[in-house]
Amino acid sequence: DHSLPAACREGSGAVTRALGAAPGRVELADGVPLSRCVQRAVDPDDVVFVGGTFVSVAVGLAERARADIESPAALQLGYLLGAAHRGGDRTLVSSELLRRLDQEAAGIAERSHAYERGLRAGRAAG
């Protein structure tokens, strides 16, 4: 089954709560990793929903991370982007979402060790 898992439709609150476990195992309901949401979002409605959810979460995390670049928010932002790239680097559908998420990390990615730690963890297991 290559459809979008139901856990990916739970919205930004579910993603934010799951990211609280970063850099450890971050999973949505039913053990769904964030990368699977990006990987399986191929239907236009799914792309819009997952993209909107991930960007919304990234905007909030980036705002807090800019205030403290070594904060848990910076680590969680890195994890979110790492997981998104893990799931979307091989799909053309995800390229705009990844570009938009990367924009949110501008100015943080270059200066934050917490962000880099989260990014590595998200790419490895997200």
Nearest partner of 51 among 34, 29, 68, 72, judged by Cα: 34
CB 78 within 8 Å of CB 119? yes
Q: Per-residue pLDDT tens for 104-124?
A: 999 998 999 999 999 999 999
Listed in sequence order, the residues at least 6 apart from 89 whose beta carbon sits closer than 8 Å to its beta carbon are 98
Q: CA distances (Å), 126 to each of 77, 85, 110, in order? A: 12, 9, 21
pLDDT digits (tens, 9 = 90+) for 20-65: 999 999 999 999 999 999 999 989 999 999 999 999 999 999 999 9
- For the entire predicted model, the pTM comes to 0.96
Q: Which two tokens stand for residue 27?
A: 């999973």
